[in-house]
Amino acid sequence: MGLRIGVFSDTHVGRNIPRVLGDARRKAFRHAFKQAVTVFVREKVDYVLHGGDLFEKRSMTPEDAVFVKEELYRLVKESGKNVEIIAVRGNHDGSPTSSALDFVTHPVADYFHVLGDKTLEGQEEVFWDGNLRVAAIGYHPYAKGKFRELAELVSSTLSGEGFKILLIHNYVEGVHDIPPSTPEHAVAEAEKVKEMGADLVISGHHHEHLGLKRVNGQLYLLPGSTEAVDLGERGPFGVYILEVEDGRLASHRFIELTPLQLIESRSIVSEKPLPLEWYRRRCLEEAESFAGGLEEKGVDGILRLQVRGVVVEPGLLPELGLEEELRDLRKRYPRLLHVEVLEELEPILGGGEEALIEADAPREEVVRRVFEELGEAAVEAAELVEEVAMSLEERASERTGLLKDSDRARFVERWGRLMLKAVGGEKGD
């Protein structure tokens, strides 16, 4: 008779990031966990394997621990069979000596098994019930060296009959899309994983669902997370159902979960310099469009706006300053929980490829384009710039390269009058 195995990972129960949405996000991770358990009950699985980061230890509450305990008990009770649940510690579950998984383990809950931390200490540790053989390696920040050290031990642990699964919560070279900031020592070598002799390696830690893949002759399952751990992550998010027959993986199915909140990313990009007000208007248009769609669908949502381009107004740090408008929008559309605006705006002289003024443009061109917004006062502003440049060449201090206070004062006074005239504060000299 075949074995049916439910697989999920990176459930991060208790996560409350971003903090402005703390309670809402905490509910979203619980919602996904509850859905996963319901799927496993419906599919009548014999085993459930978790690939690490069951909890978000830094922000979890006692209620989160109780919630997980009750859901795992529901899984066993409603399945009507002796379901065995096996988990490995992830980096967000804490350390081997202070693991959030300890909140779930209990002598009465003999169906819940945590593997991998004794393995890190060099002890042989395995789940084996006559059909399925599971070993694990708990998260380790220096995975490369640790996996080299443990290859022989794990190979010995997995030797024998039954379908052999290795649970890990680390990146493996050539298997994961590894973030550029990840140090080399934190990535395990695929060759060492292969030496461990598993029929299947289930790897958490990577939140994107990458499915089943074979690398260097080793079969991996990368289930991804059950919910967007960070707002920028894209789904689908879900769980796997594996069928094992005659000691081999016969089939695998991915079952997508329905998120509690709709998270969407939209980009506002201009290939040419535009006024700051254009970017502001486009942000508000996208936010209102998204908010209106939430009301129609009857779901809560979070919007990420990525704004990139060059603004025509001169200035060091262009800022959209949309806080008040977005606050009013959320009042009008209660289902709009949050709008995150990621600004990558450059001033007109920012030097980017999209800048209006080339880096090697003549000074006259730079001056003309910078001050053209001043209208009739632009000519006088350009003349003033030229006078300053000439004065610097003739009278600047050899030590500092600056004008003396007496020479600089007359230019400051003229510039002040010019600005007043440009904004309508003065009709003339």
With a CB cutoff of 8 Å and minimum separation 6, the contacts of 332 are 291
In terms of Cβ atoms closer than 10 Å to its own Cβ (0-12, 13-18, 19+), residue 116 is buried
Residue 402 token pair? 């600056």
pTM: 0.80
Q: Which helix (H) or strand (E) holds 111?
A: none
User: What CATH superfamily classification does 3-256 receive?
Assistant: Metallo-dependent phosphatases (3.60.21.10)
Residue 284 token pair? 């508000």
In whole angstroms, what is the distance from residue 287 CA to residue 308 CA? 16
Q: Phi, psi (5° rounding) for residue 411?
A: -70, -40
Q: pLDDT at position 369, please?
A: 66
* Unique residue bearing structure tokens 């040419």: 272
Sequence letter at residue 342: L
Q: How many alpha carbons fall within 13 Å on the CB side of residue 14?
A: 22
3-state SS class at 348: coil
* Unique residue bearing structure tokens 């000074």: 363
Residue 409 token pair? 């004062």
Q: pLDDT at position 368, please?
A: 63
In whole angstroms, what is the distance from residue 358 CA to residue 365 CA? 10
With CA atoms as reference, report the closest residue to 135 among 198, 81, 186: 198
* Unique residue bearing structure tokens 């959209």: 320
Give the Cα-Cα-Cα angle 31, 138, 255 (nearest 5 degrees). 35
Every domain range in the chain assigned CATH 3.60.21.10: 3-256
The full DSSP string for 199-234 is SEEEE-S--S--EEEEETTEEEEE---SS-SSTT--
Query: What residues form DSSP beta bridges with 134?
Result: 127, 165
Q: Which helix (H) or strand (E) holds 164?
A: strand 163-168
367-377, pLDDT tens digit by residue? 666 676 667 67
Question: Tens-of-pLDDT digits for all 429 residues of the chain?
Answer: 699 999 999 999 999 999 899 899 999 999 999 999 999 999 999 999 999 999 999 999 999 999 999 999 999 999 988 999 999 999 999 999 999 999 999 887 899 999 999 999 999 999 999 999 999 999 999 999 999 999 999 999 999 999 999 999 999 999 999 998 899 999 999 999 999 999 999 999 999 999 999 999 999 999 999 999 999 998 899 999 999 999 999 999 999 999 999 999 999 999 888 999 999 999 999 999 999 999 999 999 999 999 999 998 776 678 899 999 999 999 999 999 999 999 999 887 544 444 444 444 555 666 666 676 667 677 777 777 777 777 776 666 655 567 777 777 888 888 888 777 776 654 444
* Unique residue bearing structure tokens 């709009």: 336
